[in-house]
Amino acid sequence: MAFIDMKKREIQSKLVYYGPGRGGKTTNVLHLFKTMSRQVCGKMVTIDTRGDRTLFFDFLPLSIGKIMNLNIRIQVYTVPGQVLYNDTRKLVLRGVDGVVFVADSLRIQQQQNIDSLINLEANLREEKLSIRTVPLVFQYNKIDLAETSIPTLTVEELQNDLNKNHQLPYFPASALKGFGVYETLREISKKMIKNITIKLKDGHLQGIAG
């Protein structure tokens, strides 16, 4: 969960990009890193493996304003998509303040999207969190491939598969082209800040001394 660093006068929070393997999680964060000002964008750590593009996480602190005279810093992580790395996914989710679920619009990935969302819900539950209360938005990535001959899912199908029971904000996107990436980040950031502000006013944020 978010906590206050009094020495730095900032609230540090954690955003996780979740979803099936090769769905576009890392591509989202790479686009943010490449296009953001270095004044707000910190060092990013990427670990690639044969089995999955991201074994542990991408790390990207984002300074995005203030709450009650405290700076907000969001640390952005991605999780590995493959099932064999589920222990790592659990570790990355620990202390999460917001989630972007990146679904793959390729039709061949339909069941993987559904399974990954079920996995997210189960892993959140282990952290004593609920998918219904954690700030969450959906991104439907690779939507631009609908203009090609590659079989893809429609937004309506993705909504029915993933968001029918949640009715949360969603964004068609192409992380490779940068379409929908900032819109997704902006929405989840707003939801996270709103949630953190409530916790701060209620005195539910932990702090470390300055």
Instruction: Please report the DSSP string for 104-131 in residue order.
Output: E-BGGGHHHHHHHHHHHHHHHHHTT--T
Quick one: CA dihedral 90, 190, 184, 46, positive or negative? negative
Q: Given this model, what pLDDT does residue 55 score?
A: 39
Q: How far apart are CA 139 and CA 26, in angstroms?
A: 13
pLDDT along the chain (210 residues), means of 10: 86 94 92 85 72 54 80 88 82 94 98 97 97 97 96 98 97 97 96 91 70
Q: Given this model, what pLDDT does residue 91 score?
A: 87
Q: Cβ distance 155 to 140 under 8 Å?
A: yes
**161: buried, middle or exposed (CB in 10 Å: 19+, 13-18, 0-12)?**
middle
Nearest to 76 by CA among 87, 64, 86, 67: 64
Q: Given this model, what pLDDT does residue 202 score?
A: 82
Q: Given this model, what pLDDT does residue 203 score?
A: 78
Set out the domains of the chain in order of their start, with CATH numbers.
3-204 (3.40.50.300)
Q: Given this model, what pLDDT does residue 53 score?
A: 53
Q: How far apart are CA 181 and CA 185, in angstroms?
A: 6
Query: Structure pTM?
Result: 0.93
